[in-house]
Chains A and B, each alone.
Chain A
């Protein structure tokens, strides 16, 4: 201990610091409380303040095929190089589109906003390129973008999609208030085939009926009703087609492209509407 310490007899501006540092329990309790404050103040309120996630028409949960695509997106670590969070700057608007709204990632367990753009933002990638472009880009990125440093994801189109976890995934998400009904979960396999167009169009209408009009909201425990949009609202149509260009089977590439092609397309942005204020808390619901 320093001389300065001995002189001060352990009192720091009237605080008996000597006592604190001689007692493990006191020191431990002070530290345990002090480190918790900031997190509580910054994280907890957002769960309770209504305007943290202003509801805007159109956002729906992912279909089973898109959900599997999202799992592949996570598995391959896409979010390490591609953000999904457009900031409200002019250059980002020019390059990527309207800034991202909180509600647009409201169903994303886990969030995939990312922290680095080694590649461009993909929050509004949906329908920006054709499926054929995506297939070629996944096989050999540098054949369509010569400057790209992205790995070739050749294994995606060679691997048949493993759907053994899909029902469990949906159940887990349902338990966290993502609006999947028991009917949705029971029909996941049919819906996956329908969306990837390997069933000659048999299940398309059912798939659309199940997912297209789902509204932002929650399913309560035991209550299996799903909130849907009123007829006057025109939702974004589901993409139903052979995404990898091959309608004979459902591959991982089908799922990933299905996921990418819906990104950022749910909300219809209107010119001149300020999405922070005008549409605040006015969900368009039954």
Chain B
């Protein structure tokens, strides 16, 4: 199978690889997929509580080149967006940008799921106050 130049670029130079502190209340973590299905994505966002803007995004992905490219591109798109804007990101944007073939659409769906899961995790944390330090 031939890969698009953009997929190859993200595979060879993945953007924003890494991890943020899961316990930080300003960080939301999404972990989607399953090893037996051949792809797992971990996507994290760091949100400025005052502005609601996503200041940082990181990912790690176990999966094919298209899955790596989808999550790499997703982190690029997230940075600078508000949480609400991020929720509006659709997998089709990833498909178009990366020229994914039909057989790889599920990679973009997984990346969209990862974004939503990370935001959900962030919101859940914001609603429940951080546990008080035990004496």
Whether chains A and B associate is: no
